[in-house]
């Protein structure tokens, strides 16, 4: 009871920090955009450049949302980039040898293959982790990272397969009103769906519960294996969808596609405020994280900075973002401790 | 309707190296509060975990409502109407009260969660439990009392017919405890059976109808609370008189070896001052969260957000890391033996030389022969029961593991020994052996500081007791003082003044 009162009086500050937690990444994103607009001398916020960014962002943003599910569990999916590649390349091989006509049906089949294959390998990750009881997702997904990439190279003979039918590439290439990429609309729609799933569907809440406190989830009778398998499958599914966009944009299946994809996806989640320990994070932060990475890449290109410099900038941003989070948590804890001590003092004074 | 809700018949459970439960028969009646008491390691927790489906019995049967059942996992237990509030609260700190309450019992409207309904219900449930609070609050922001109410709420929500409470009062304030009692009364009226585990016999008398005593994995007796005295309960629990349990030898107090001046840490410790002497056991008592462990961690240099001075002998000493502490001949035997004290997979000999590894060198290499010789001597002096020096420490019993930890520190030639809960989770026989080792250290003139939450233990082995509360020292009582008794020490721990 007394604790209660202490926290009620602290309520305002807690609310304020909560707003900051949510808006923090967005604020940083806006600042970076303004900074880029200034250093590029107005070349950043042009319609064509913005359209460019909207075309570039979906692949990483889609992978990031699957990754978020896994990170919410307190897990990690190192195989994301390879999951995309294996789906994409299977689809490419089918196109080259079996489905050579350009009908709408074959387009749909090719895209389905791309998504299903990635999902199946994601599902296998989940099985490795739960049913084979591999001790840490790092190991299971590190293994499948190599296996999937190797398979992608093997089935394509390490060569790019080009020439998909229009019906398959449309999602990756079509622009609404001539400027808004269909892939971006798809991404945003899926973000909305996942937001509802994670915040308003029982299964989604179980993901947070598992990540926040495994024991509590277990004692609540949650089928923890099922939740984990679902999340790794979702990671595969979203890699597959990202694969569709990739397939359309490049009109080819590249076995070495998105080699850094998993790291970009992880970075998006982390910059977006997701906790590596699990149980904390949301889709909008992740979207901002994905944008942040893409915008920095874009800005560096506009400034004609080399890719090595881009890497350094992104690396520093990840570290700074997480360090800010660490500082905020420490301040939070300290404030809570002091509030409790104050309440204790009042209680002790009442006893005597 | 059956009068008895749940009945365990002849339950036996083995763990590697121990029989955790031996032929236990136990029943809980509707609308009754059943106390369950016993020392640490008596088998209470195992019994509970069998009811909640965490462990499965090796032998015996379970009946619910007169029907034989099998509890294969936590969800089975839940479906049978069994709820449990564990001592370590199991909440997701980043989720709201509602989310925690409805974990896996969600209200859905079609595909989606019906948060409006859930928030309303959790607000009502929490209000019934005496907590008026916004159900959207994250659990990590709540005090322990409210967190516990959330745990009880989970069982209320799923309409549990049996509620198990494992030491529910251990971290509550007095006001929160009386609130808990009224919640228990209400649940009782609704015909809920309650199993109430406690270390504090006063509580058993205050809220239980029946009481069962367990010892060494066996059920000693079940009696109505009105038909048994406190002294009888204690003797059932201990199984022998307290004098043989706590072999206290009188030693001569020597000079001051450790003094702490104005030790403070923001929000945690406030002006802690005390001296510890050679040849004396100084006990630290307090409720959970009193700041005892924090004091020891600050002295040992684990937590460094501190101000104040530490004197070893007469010398002011800076201790900013465990390394500093060890080189000043301080030994710290942590509360959690398995996590912080031992490397369970490593051998006895490796564990015995863990702290001294930097000194056990001959040139560049470890002096294996000397280490072996010393370890052999350790095993003899401390009567460590092990199949060989190379056996993994994890295969030893709890008491012998603890002796390995003590020996490890004795090898450093430490003068000041800080024990945090030295007998937690070890059986009664082994406890006495640990006390004997402590007595030996004191006889040699060493300074021993003991933190314990078990009042009989503190009283049994200490020459002097310091009582802490909320990060402050409340009392410093010598064994010769008239205040050196359970009542006065407890009173100080609750914040009362001793005249």
Answer yes or no: is A77 within a domain.
Answer: yes
Q: For residues A49 and A37, what is the distance between their CA atoms, to the nearest angstrom? A: 11
Contact (Cβ atoms closer than 8 angstroms) between residue A128 and residue A188: no
The rounded Cα A119 to chain-centroid distance in angstroms is 16
End-to-end CA distance of chain B: 54
Question: Which residues of A lie closer than 8 Å to B, measured between beta carbons?
Answer: 1-4, 6-7, 14, 196, 200-202, 205-206, 208-209, 212-213, 215-222, 275, 279-280, 334, 336-338, 340-341, 343-345, 347-348, 351-352
A217: chain B residues, CB-CB within 8 Å? 92, 103-104
What is the average pLDDT value for chain A, to the nearest integer?
87
Nearest to B175 among A2, A206, A280 (CB): A2
Q: Which residues of A touch B471 (CB under 8 A)?
A: 341, 344
Q: What are the structure tokens assigned to A54, written together?
A: 């909207």
ipTM above 0.85, yes or no: no
Place of tokens 């979702």: A234
Instruction: Give, to the nearest 10 degrees, the angle between helix A2-39 and helix A283-302.
Output: 20
Q: Could you tell me if residue A352 is inside a domain?
A: no
For residue A164, give the CATH number of its domain: 1.10.3470
| Cα of A340 to nearest chain B Cα, Å | 7
Domain count, chain A: 1
Q: Which domains does chain B have, with CATH numbers?
A: 4-242 (3.40.50.300), 244-493 (3.40.50.300)
Residue of B nearest to A221 (CA): B75
Nearest CA of chain B to the CA of A98: how many Å?
Answer: 40
Please indicate whether, in this complex, the C-beta atoms of A221 and B494 are within 8 angstroms of each other: no
Per-residue tens of pLDDT for chain B, all 499 residues: 458 899 999 999 987 667 788 899 999 999 999 999 887 667 888 899 999 998 999 999 999 988 999 998 888 888 899 999 887 778 888 899 999 999 878 888 888 889 999 999 999 999 888 888 899 998 888 877 888 889 889 888 888 899 999 888 877 777 778 888 888 998 888 889 999 998 777 788 888 999 999 988 889 889 998 998 877 887 788 776 556 667 777 777 788 999 999 999 988 899 999 999 999 999 999 887 788 999 999 999 988 888 999 999 889 999 998 889 988 999 998 877 777 778 888 888 888 888 888 777 777 788 888 888 999 998 888 888 888 888 888 888 777 888 898 888 888 888 999 999 888 767 666 788 888 889 988 998 999 999 988 888 898 899 999 999 889 999 999 988 888 888 888 888 877 777 6
> Among partner residues B100, B106, B145, which is closest to A3 by beta-carbon distance?
B145
| SS3 (DSSP) at B136 | coil
Run of H or E including B467? strand B464-469
| Alpha carbon A142 to its chain's center | 18
- Residues in chain B closer than 8 A to A192 (CB atoms): none
**B82, B51 Cβ separation under 8 angstroms:** yes
DSSP single-letter state for residue B497: P
Q: How far is CA B460 from the centre of its chain?
A: 18
> Tokens in use for B66?
């007169």
Q: Tell me the shortest Cα–Cα distance from B15 to chain A, in angstroms.
A: 21
Q: What is the rounded radius of gyration, in angstroms, for the C-alpha atoms of chain A?
A: 23
**In chain A, what residues touch B496 (CB-CB under 8 Å)?**
351-352
A153, A282, B23, B340 from A89: Cα distances, Å = 8, 31, 62, 49
Closest to B276 measured CA to CA, from B310, B306, B318: B310
Domain interval for residue A104: 2-347
- Across the interface, which of B92, B133, B270 has its CB nearest the CB of A213? B92
Whether A4 sits inside 8 A of B84 (CB atoms) is no
| Contact state of A212 with B78 under an 8 Å Cβ cutoff | no
CA distance B332 to B309: 18
Q: Which residues contact B48 (CB under 8 A, 6 or more apart)?
A: B84, B164, B166, B195, B197
**Pairing relation of β-strands A180-181 and A252-253?**
unpaired
CB within 8 Å: B146 and A4: yes
Q: What CA–CA distance (Å, rounded) separates B428 from B30?
A: 33
**Between A4, A275, A345, which is nearest B133 by CB?**
A4
Distance CA A119, CA A127 (A): 12
Instruction: Express each pLDDT in A263-305 by its tens digit.
Output: 999 999 988 888 888 888 899 999 999 999 999 888 888 888 8
Tokens (6 digits) for B14: 């083995």
Judging contacts by C-beta atoms under 8 Å, the chain B residues touching residue A351 are 174, 494-496
Minimum distance, in Å, between the CA of residue A293 and any CA atom of chain B: 27
Q: Around Cβ A27, how many Cβ atoms within 10 Å?
A: 12
The residues, any chain, with a CB within 8 Å of residue B366's CB and separated by 6 or more, are B357, B360
Q: Is B199 within 8 Å of B32 (Cβ atoms)?
A: no
When scoring A219, A222, A335 by the number of chain B Cβ atoms within 10 A, the one with the most, hence best to mutate, is A219
Distance from CA of A68 to the nearest CA of B (A): 16
Report the residue of chain B nearest A342, measured CA to CA: B267
A350 pLDDT above the threshold of 80 = no
CA B338 to chain centre: 14
- A332 to chain B: closest CA residue: B141
The Cβ of residue A18 has, within 10 Å, a number of other Cβ atoms equal to 11
Give the integer Cα–Cα distance in Å for B390 and B345.
Answer: 11
The residue in chain B having the minimum alpha-carbon distance to the alpha carbon of residue A6 is B143
Q: For helices B398-410 and B368-381, what crossing angle results, to 10°?
A: 130
Is 90 exceeded by the pLDDT of residue A315?
no
φ and ψ at residue A184, rounded to 5 degrees: -70, -40
| Nearest chain A alpha carbon to B267 | A338
Q: Is the distance from CB of A106 to CB of A165 less than 8 angstroms?
A: yes
Contact A338 B267 (CB under 8 A): yes
Contact A344 B73 (CB under 8 A): no
Identify the closest residue of chain A to B90 by CA–CA distance: A216
Give the number of other Cβ atoms within 10 Å of residue A112's Cβ: 13
Tell me which chain B residues have a C-beta less than 8 angstroms from the C-beta of A277.
none
Scored b (16 or more CB within 10 A) or e, B469-499 reads bbbbbbbebeeeeebbeeebbbbbbbbbeee
Of A173, A348, A337, A150, nearest to A255 by C-alpha is A150
Per-residue HEC secondary structure of chain A comes to CHHHHHHHHHHHHHHHHHHHHHHHHHHHHHHHHHHHHHHCCCCCCCHHHHHHHHHHHHHHHHHHHHHHHHHHCCCCCCCHHHHHHHHHHHHHHHHHHCCCCCCHHHHHHHHHHHHHHHHHHHHHHHHHHHCCCCCCHHHHHHHHHHHHHHHHHHHHCCCCEECCCHHHHHHHHCEECCCEEHHHHHHHHHHHHHHHHHHHCHHHHHHHHHHHCHHHHHHCCCCHHHHHHHHHHHHHHHHHHHHHHHHHHHCEECCCCCCCHHHHHHHHHHHCCCCCCCCCCCHHHHHHHHHHHHHHHHHHHHCCCCHHHHHHHHHHHHHHHHHHHHHHHHHHHHHHHHHHHHHHHHHHHHHC
Tokens of B367: 């002096």
Do residue B141 and residue A221 have CB atoms under 8 angstroms apart?
no
What's the start-to-end Cα distance of chain A, in Å?
A: 19
CB distance B272 to B472 below 8 Å: yes
- Of B145 and A110, more confident: A110
Size of interface A-B (CB pairs under 8 A): 129
pLDDT digits (tens, 9 = 90+) for A119-170: 999 999 999 999 888 888 999 999 999 999 999 999 999 999 998 988 889 8
In a domain, A16, yes or no: yes
């Amino acid at each position: 009871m007394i604790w209660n009162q202490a926290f009620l009086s602290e309520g305002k500050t807690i609310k304020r920090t909560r707003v900051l937690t949510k808006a923090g990444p967005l604020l940083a994103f806006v600042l970076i955009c303004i900074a880029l607009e200034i250093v590029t001398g107005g070349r950043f916020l042009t319609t064509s450049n913005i359209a460019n960014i909207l075309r570039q962002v979906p692949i990483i943003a889609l992978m990031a949302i699957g990754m978020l599910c896994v990170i919410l569990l307190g897990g990690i999916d190192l195989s994301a980039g390879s999951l995309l590649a294996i789906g994409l390349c299977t689809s490419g091989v089918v196109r080259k040898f079996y489905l050579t006509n350009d009908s709408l049906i074959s387009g749909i089949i090719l895209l389905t293959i791309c998504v299903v294959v990635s999902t199946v390998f994601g599902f296998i990750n989940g099985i490795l982790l739960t049913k084979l009881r591999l001790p840490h997702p790092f190991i299971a997904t590190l293994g499948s990272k190599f296996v999937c990439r190797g398979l992608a190279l093997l089935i394509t003979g390490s060569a790019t397969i080009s020439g998909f039918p229009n019906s398959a590439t449309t999602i990756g290439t079509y622009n609404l009103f001539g400027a808004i990429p269909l892939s971006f609309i798809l991404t945003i729609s899926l973000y909305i769906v996942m937001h509802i799933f994670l915040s308003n569907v029982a299964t989604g809440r179980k993901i947070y519960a598992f990540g926040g406190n495994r024991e509590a989830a277990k004692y609540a009778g949650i089928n923890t294996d099922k939740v984990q398998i679902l999340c790794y499958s979702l990671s595969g599914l979203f890699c597959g969808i990202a694969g569709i966009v990739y397939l359309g944009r490049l009109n080819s299946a590249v076995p070495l596609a998105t080699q850094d994809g998993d790291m970009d996806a992880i970075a998006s989640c982390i910059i977006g405020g997701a906790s590596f320990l699990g149980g904390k994070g949301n889709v909008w932060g992740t979207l901002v994280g994905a944008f942040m990475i893409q915008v920095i890449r874009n800005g560096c290109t506009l400034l004609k900075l080399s890719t090595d410099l881009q890497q350094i900038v992104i690396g520093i941003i990840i570290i700074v973002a997480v360090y800010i989070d660490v500082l905020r948590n420490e301040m939070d804890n300290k404030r809570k401790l002091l509030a409790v001590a104050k309440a204790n003092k009042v209680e002790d004074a009442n006893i005597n | 309707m059956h009068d008895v809700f749940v009945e365990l018949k002849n339950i036996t459970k083995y763990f590697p190296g121990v029989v955790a439960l031996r032929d236990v028969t136990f029943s809980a009646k509707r609308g009754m509060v059943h106390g369950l008491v016993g020392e640490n390691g008596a088998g209470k927790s195992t019994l509970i975990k069998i009811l909640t489906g965490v462990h499965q019995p090796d032998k015996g049967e379970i009946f619910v409502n007169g029907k034989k059942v099998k509890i294969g996992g936590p969800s089975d237990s839940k479906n049978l109407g069994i709820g449990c509030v564990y001592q370590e609260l199991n909440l997701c700190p980043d989720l709201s009260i509602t989310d925690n309450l409805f974990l896996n019992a969600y209200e859905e409207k079609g595909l989606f969660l019906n948060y409006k309904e859930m928030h309303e219900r959790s607000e009502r449930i929490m209000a019934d439990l005496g907590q008026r609070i916004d159900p959207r609050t994250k659990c990590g922001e709540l005090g322990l009392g409210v967190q516990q109410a959330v745990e009880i709420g989970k069982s209320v929500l799923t309409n549990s017919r049996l509620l198990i409470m494992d030491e529910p009062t251990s971290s509550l304030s007095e006001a929160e405890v009386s609130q808990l009692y009224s919640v228990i009364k209400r649940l009782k009226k609704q015909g809920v059976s309650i199993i109430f585990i406690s270390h504090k016999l006063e509580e058993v008398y205050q809220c239980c109808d029946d009481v069962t005593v367990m010892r060494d994995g066996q059920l000693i007796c079940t009696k109505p609370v009105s038909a048994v005295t406190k002294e009888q309960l204690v003797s059932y629990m201990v199984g022998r008189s307290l004098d043989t349990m706590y072999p206290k030898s009188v030693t001569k107090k020597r000079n001051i070896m450790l003094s702490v001046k104005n030790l403070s840490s923001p929000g945690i410790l406030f002006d802690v001052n005390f001296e510890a002497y050679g040849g004396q056991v100084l006990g630290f008592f307090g409720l959970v969260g009193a700041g005892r462990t924090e004091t020891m961690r600050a002295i040992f240099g684990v937590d460094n957000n501190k101000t104040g001075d530490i004197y070893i002998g007469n010398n002011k000493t800076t201790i900013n890391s465990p390394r500093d502490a060890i080189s000043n001949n301080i030994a710290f035997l942590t509360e959690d033996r398995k996590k912080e004290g031992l490397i369970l997979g490593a051998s006895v000999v490796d564990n015995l030389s863990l702290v001294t590894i930097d000194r056990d060198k001959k040139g560049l290499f470890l002096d294996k022969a000397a280490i072996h010789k010393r370890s052999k001597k350790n095993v003899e002096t401390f009567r460590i029961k092990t199949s060989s020096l190379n056996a993994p420490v994890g295969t030893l019993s709890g008491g012998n593991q603890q002796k390995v930890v003590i020996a490890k520190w004795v090898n450093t030639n430490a003068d000041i020994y800080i024990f945090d809960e030295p007998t937690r989770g070890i059986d009664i026989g082994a406890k006495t052996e640990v006390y004997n080792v402590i007595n030996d250290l004191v006889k040699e003139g060493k300074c021993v500081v003991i933190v314990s939450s078990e009042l009989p233990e503190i009283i049994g082995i200490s020459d002097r007791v310091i009582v802490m509360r909320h990060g402050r020292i409340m009392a410093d009582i010598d064994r010769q003082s008239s205040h050196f008794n359970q009542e006065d020490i407890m009173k100080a721990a609750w914040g009362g003044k001793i005249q």
